[in-house]
């Protein structure tokens, strides 16, 4: 069961009054932070903890050890690798103020594990995908809803709170991993067109434009994907000839079933690794 909403993306986060601490700032956490800063989040409200001490954005404070910040209040986003939770989690837990809220984007790590590590603190599990950088992402969330978290996540794109966390890894495989699979499809179609004789740059440009238009029409249309396919394909036509290959023996459905299963199962393995 899910509780979903697609909130209006805030025009500005200039009035956001909370504080945000990112423990780790890799690709995903960095994309989230960059989007929030673009929306007007004051850099002085953001602190990043990273061992390298390397700068992340103008005006954002960077420290190498979270102990320097103790006690840490407000929202604390865990942006390191899930396998590092057993080693990094205790230091974070020691530094937290009683009112801190922990947001984890650690793949596969369940709420129960977070609540055990950060006992007494409000914990939220989140899984964004990379299009959050442009405000067109999907963010899955589990845990007790929080108004400040809602405000920040709304700026990243479509949000969905899951009433039942049990299927979180499968949802994550679909929305969190899904962009990479779509990029691979774009790469494959471009490669195929190139092998058949089109210039690579033209093939890529046309494929990107086609995907943009097709995805936009799928979002706007009340029709199912199957009904949209029927609108494009005519019996005995070019499109149908290609569909006959894609649909042969259910190969395409089987490939994506196996793909999502593998990603989901890896999430469970990462959870086991996070528990040490």
pLDDT attached to residue 1: 43
pLDDT attached to residue 43: 96
- Closest alpha carbon to 140 in 108, 113, 118: 108
**Shared domain check, 39 and 155:** yes
- What is the distance between the alpha carbons of residues 226 and 137, in angstroms, rounded to a whole number? 24
- Yes or no: say if 69 and 47 are a contact pair by the CB < 8 Å rule: yes
Report the percentage of the chain scoring pLDDT > 90.
86
- Given pLDDT bands bounded at 50, 70 and 90, which one contains residue 12? confident
- How confident is the model over 116-144, as a mean pLDDT? 95
Report the percentage of the chain scoring pLDDT > 70.
96
Asked if the structure places residue 142 within a domain, the reply is: yes
Quick one: CA dihedral 69, 121, 271, 156, positive or negative?
negative
Q: Which domain holds residue 77?
A: 2-168
Beta bridge partners of 159: 5, 139
**Shared domain check, 143 and 60:** yes
**Shared domain check, 254 and 132:** no
The CATH number that applies at residue 216 is 1.10.3730.10
Final residue of a structural domain among 168, 189, 217: 168
- How confident is the model over 61-86, as a mean pLDDT? 94
Asked if pLDDT for residue 245 goes beyond 70, the answer is: yes
**Shared domain check, 203 and 91:** no
**Shared domain check, 47 and 21:** yes
- How confident is the model over 267-273, as a mean pLDDT? 83
**Shared domain check, 94 and 13:** yes
The CATH number that applies at residue 132 is 3.40.50.720
- How confident is the model over 61-82, as a mean pLDDT? 95
Q: Which residue has the tokens 């969330």?
A: 141
**Shared domain check, 69 and 51:** yes
Count of domains observed in the chain: 2
The three-state secondary structure class of 180 is helix
Instruction: Indicate the range of 91-95, 107-111, 207-211 predicted with least confidence.
Output: 107-111
- What is the distance between the alpha carbons of residues 197 and 191, in angstroms, rounded to a whole number? 10
Tokens of 101: 């809220």
């Amino acid at each position: 069961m899910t509780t979903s909403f697609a909130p209006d993306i805030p025009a500005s986060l200039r009035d956001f009054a909370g504080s945000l601490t990112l423990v780790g700032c890799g690709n995903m956490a960095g994309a989230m932070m960059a989007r929030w800063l673009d929306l007007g989040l004051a850099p002085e409200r953001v602190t990043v903890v990273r061992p390298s001490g390397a700068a992340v954005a103008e005006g954002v404070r960077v420290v190498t050890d979270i102990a320097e910040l103790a006690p840490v209040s407000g929202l604390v986003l865990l942006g390191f690798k899930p396998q590092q939770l057993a080693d990094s989690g205790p230091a974070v837990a020691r530094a937290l103020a009683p009112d801190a809220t922990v947001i984890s984007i650690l793949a596969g790590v369940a709420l129960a594990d977070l609540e055990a590590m950060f006992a007494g603190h409000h914990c939220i599990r989140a899984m964004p995908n990379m299009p959050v950088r442009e405000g067109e992402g999907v963010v899955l969330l589990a845990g007790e809803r929080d108004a400040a978290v809602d405000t920040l996540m709304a700026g990243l794109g479509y949000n969905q709170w899951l009433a039942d966390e049990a299927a979180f890894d499968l949802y994550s495989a679909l929305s969190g991993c899904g962009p990479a699979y779509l990029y691979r499809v774009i790469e494959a179609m471009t490669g195929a067109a190139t092998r058949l004789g089109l210039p690579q740059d033209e093939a890529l440009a046309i494929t990107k434009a086609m995907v943009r238009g097709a995805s936009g029409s799928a979002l706007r249309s009340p029709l199912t994907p199957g009904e949209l396919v029927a609108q494009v394909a005519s019996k005995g036509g070019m499109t149908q000839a290609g569909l006959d290959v894609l649909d042969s023996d259910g190969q395409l459905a089987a490939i994506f079933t196996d793909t999502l299963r593998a990603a989901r199962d890896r999430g469970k393995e990462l959870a086991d690794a996070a528990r040490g």
